[in-house]
Structure 1
Amino acid sequence: MPHRPKVVAFDIIGTVFSMEPMRAPLVGLGLPSLALDLLYTAGLRDTFALATTNSFAPFQAVLSACLDELLAMQGLTASSKDKQAVLDMMRALPPHGDAKAAFQVLVDSGVRVCALSNGAVKTTQGLLAAASMDGMVEQILSVEDVKLSKPRAEVYLYAAQTAGVAPGEMALIATHPWDLHGAKIAGLMAGYVARGRPYSAVLKGPAVTGETLLDVASEMARI
């Protein structure tokens, strides 16, 4: 039986804040509707390649290179201004509808909350402030502090160390099985936000699974 974590780290991009508003602008560049999914997947591919080889680049730079790749695959070109306008939307993503309530239920139960993102601290700060959620977050942590991207164990261990707890006293809530797998390997508890998608059987499984952010946060608060 899992024990209640002292600290819960939330993944940010995709988990707390939705990338969906970027889909229409990408289609506006001439790309297919699936371009958003392909862009994010390609971005992860390259961040994983960098992390595996002990290298690092900011996620924004990685996505920029992947956007060029997607455009070229479709025989398209776009101005630097138009491409940057799409990428700049990462700084103004909307929170999922239950995100604030999910943070609040943990805070109310005495669990400390932090953010742990592949994005930059400044970007995460802006997203949380715009959603009036920054006051519930104790710390904002980024892979840029470690110069290695998730799912490298060093990222999760850095988060636990910064929070002043043992890895087993921290949990990660995310909608990405690969992220939770990395957290589990590092010794953290994992909470999966399914949103209708199964968790891969080949990855280390989560202690808590729910359809929504609020479901997972509430279950952790009840442990």
Structure 2
Amino acid sequence: MTERMIKAVAFDIIETTVSLEPMRERLMGLGLPGNSLELWFASSLRDAFGLAASDRFQPFKDVLDAVLADMLEQSGLAGSAEKRAEVLKGMAELTAHEDARSAFERLSEAGVRIFALSNGAAAVTSSLLQRCSLSNFVDRVISVDEVRWSKPRAEVYRHAVEIAGLRPEEMMLVACHPWDVHGAKAAGLLAGYVNRGHRFPTTMLQPDVESGSLLQIAEDILTLGK
């Protein structure tokens, strides 16, 4: 029997495995318009990237909070630290995408180890996975806080490989963010892109598998290299 090519899969969590949509109502509760969700998260990622590119690090929760404070100020809205903290609690109360559990189950049944690799804190991510009934499938939650670099720094992906005790080519990252896929590929891992209607940029290192479905990504992973 041929040994399986991919022995572990590291899933990005926010937006890839769970949906950010429940945060929209929380932001609107502060008076922000409904389309603020996408701007808030994209701006927070931008700032995290800027820190990582300049060899600096801040926990992602702090980055999210700082961007939220700025958005509220720019909109002329009051947003105390207490109110913002209450909104940010929602990051631990997100819901899984419909096909997340079936994808995790499929890989687990096939003997592929599953890791969670997140820019978020380990405790929040663990709580989120438990809430979504996914924690039993996950070997370990790996947070960027452990290496004090944000994705897509290569150190983050290499840390995940080291934790798994594997070679980079034996682990695949699955993410819906092209920058995350590109970062994993640049670090020597394989990568799966969950496109959800968005084309992968031609300027970045290309994914090994691509689909709009997490379950189909899982199926493709199991057949890759056969």
Fold similarity call, TM over 0.5: yes
Residue 71 (structure 1) shift: 1.1
- SS of residue in 1 equivalent to 2:18: coil
Map of 1:209 onto structure 2: 210
Tell me whether 1:56 sits opposite 2:57 in the alignment: yes
Tell me whether 1:40 sits opposite 2:24 in the alignment: no
Map of 2:32 onto structure 1: 31
Residue 139 (structure 1) shift: 1.2
Tell me whether 1:134 sits opposite 2:105 in the alignment: no
Map of 2:199 onto structure 1: 198
> How far, CA to CA, are the matches of 2:82 and 2:151 in structure 1?
29
Identity value in percent: 47
- SS of residue in 2 equivalent to 1:113: strand
Tell me whether 1:160 sits opposite 2:161 in the alignment: yes
Tell me whether 1:89 sits opposite 2:90 in the alignment: yes
Residue 222 (structure 1) shift: 2.2
1:179-222 residue CA offsets vs partner (Å, 9 max, x unmatched): 00000000010100011111111111101000111111111122
- SS of residue in 1 equivalent to 2:95: coil
Map of 1:121 onto structure 2: 122
> How far, CA to CA, are the matches of 2:127 and 2:25 in structure 1?
22
**Greater CA deviation, 22-31 or 78-87?**
78-87
1:55-107 residue CA offsets vs partner (Å, 9 max, x unmatched): 11111000000001111221222233322121110011111111111111111
Tell me whether 1:172 sits opposite 2:173 in the alignment: yes
Runs of 4+ with deviation above 3 angstroms: none
> How far, CA to CA, are the matches of 1:152 and 1:103 in structure 2?
25
Q: Is the 8 A contact 2:190 2:208 kept in 1?
A: yes
> How far, CA to CA, are the matches of 1:179 and 1:4 in structure 2?
21
- SS of residue in 2 equivalent to 1:40: helix
Gaps of 5+ in 1: none
> How far, CA to CA, are the matches of 1:76 and 1:130 in structure 2?
32
Residue 48 (structure 1) shift: 0.5
> How far, CA to CA, are the matches of 1:194 and 1:174 in structure 2?
9
1:122-181 residue CA offsets vs partner (Å, 9 max, x unmatched): 011101111221111111101000000000000000000110001111100000000000
> How far, CA to CA, are the matches of 2:212 and 2:183 in structure 1?
21
> How far, CA to CA, are the matches of 2:210 and 2:123 in structure 1?
30
**Greater CA deviation, 69-78 or 49-58?**
69-78
Residue 28 (structure 1) shift: 2.1
- SS of residue in 1 equivalent to 2:142: strand
> How far, CA to CA, are the matches of 1:28 and 1:138 in structure 2?
36
Gaps of 5+ in 2: none
> How far, CA to CA, are the matches of 1:79 and 1:49 in structure 2?
26
Q: Is the 8 A contact 2:26 2:90 kept in 1?
A: no
How many pairs are equivalent?
A: 221
